[in-house]
């Protein structure tokens, strides 16, 4: 369980030319380790996660997820890889309004081709693990913002991913709730042995990280200070 991005360059079309969103970026995250990515808005943080998630193919460089090089894989193979190996947590939970917490997780298992019945037990265990015992049958409108983000986290772990990619998970929460959510992600990273990358703009959340890297104009600076 590890994530290796090597020499990643990504450009987007920009009028008559191209905008370089990622410039020769290297990022390596080991099993059970947590790397924080900080940096100003527009510096390429979300693009980096999208490349790591195999949602965008870079112009150059390669991505190795849990020992598998994604170069040359078909769309279908990438979809399978994503469902089995990658958990994603974005800023907004994007829960389905009509489903209960446990059903949100079961749907994910169903999409990954796992039988829905077996999934229920795992879903309940995961919800318990994020502190939502007793909320398993609540729908999103019956949950607080922090609780919805916990459902989102539990859902991302449903496939027992090797790699966990997290984009500004606390931006919709106040400082204290944000700190609790990051502590939870750290604990789950250690417990499940995922290689975790967290984009965050809140520097107060960086104390538990194994590594902190800073993006500036698409380039990565390693060993950024947590001050």
Ligand X SMILES: Nc1ncnc2c1ncn2[C@@H]1O[C@H](COP(=O)(O)OP(=O)(O)O)[C@@H](O)[C@H]1O
Q: Which is nearer to ligand X, 47 or 108 (CB)?
A: 47
Contact residue for Mg ion among 2, 35, 43, 46 (CB under 5 A): 46
Of these partners, ligand X, Mg ion, none, which one is at the site of residue 12 (CB under 5 to 8 Å by kind)? ligand X
Q: Which is nearer to Mg ion, 51 or 127 (CB)?
A: 51
CB of 45 to Mg ion, least distance (A): 5
Residue 98 and residue 81: Cα distance in Å, rounded? Answer: 28
Residue 12 in contact with ligand X, rule: CB under 6 A: yes
Site for Mg ion in 100-159 (CB under 5 A): none
Residue 127 and residue 162: Cα distance in Å, rounded? Answer: 19
Residues in contact with ligand X, total (CB under 6 A)?
Answer: 11
- Find out whether 104 and 98 touch, Cβ atoms under 8 Å: no
- Find out whether 185 and 146 touch, Cβ atoms under 8 Å: no
Residue 216 and residue 55: Cα distance in Å, rounded? Answer: 22
Residue 43 in contact with ligand X, rule: CB under 6 A: yes
Q: What is the 3-state secondary structure (H, E, C) of 97-130?
A: CCCCHHHHHHHHHHHCCCCHHHHHHHHHHHHHHC
Q: What is the binding site for Mg ion (CB under 5 A)?
A: 45-46
Q: What is the binding site for ligand X (CB under 6 A)?
A: 12, 19, 21, 39, 41-47
């Amino acid at each position: 369980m590890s994530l290796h991005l090597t020499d990643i360059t990504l450009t987007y079309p920009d009028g008559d030319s191209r905008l370089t969103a990622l410039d020769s970026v290297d990022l390596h995250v080991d099993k059970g380790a947590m790397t924080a990515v900080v940096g100003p808005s527009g510096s390429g943080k979300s693009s980096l996660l999208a490349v790591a998630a195999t949602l965008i193919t870079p112009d150059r460089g390669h991505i190795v997820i849990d020992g598998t090089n994604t170069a040359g894989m078909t769309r279908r193979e990438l979809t399978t890889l994503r469902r089995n190996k990658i958990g994603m947590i974005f800023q907004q939970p994007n829960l389905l309004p009509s489903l209960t917490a446990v059903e949100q997780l079961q749907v994910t298992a169903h999409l990954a081709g796992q039988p829905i019945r077996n999934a229920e037990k795992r879903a309940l265990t995961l919800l318990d693990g994020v502190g939502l015992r007793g909320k398993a049958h609540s729908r999103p409108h019956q949950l607080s913002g922090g609780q919805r983000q916990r459902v989102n986290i539990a859902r991302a772990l449903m496939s027992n991913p090797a790699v966990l990619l997290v984009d500004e998970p606390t931006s919709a929460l106040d400082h204290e709730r944000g700190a609790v959510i990051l502590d939870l992600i750290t604990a789950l990273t250690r417990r499940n042995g995922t290689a975790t990358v967290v984009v965050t703009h809140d520097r107060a959340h960086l104390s538990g990280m194994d590594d902190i890297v800073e993006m500036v104009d698409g380039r990565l600076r390693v060993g950024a200070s947590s001050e």
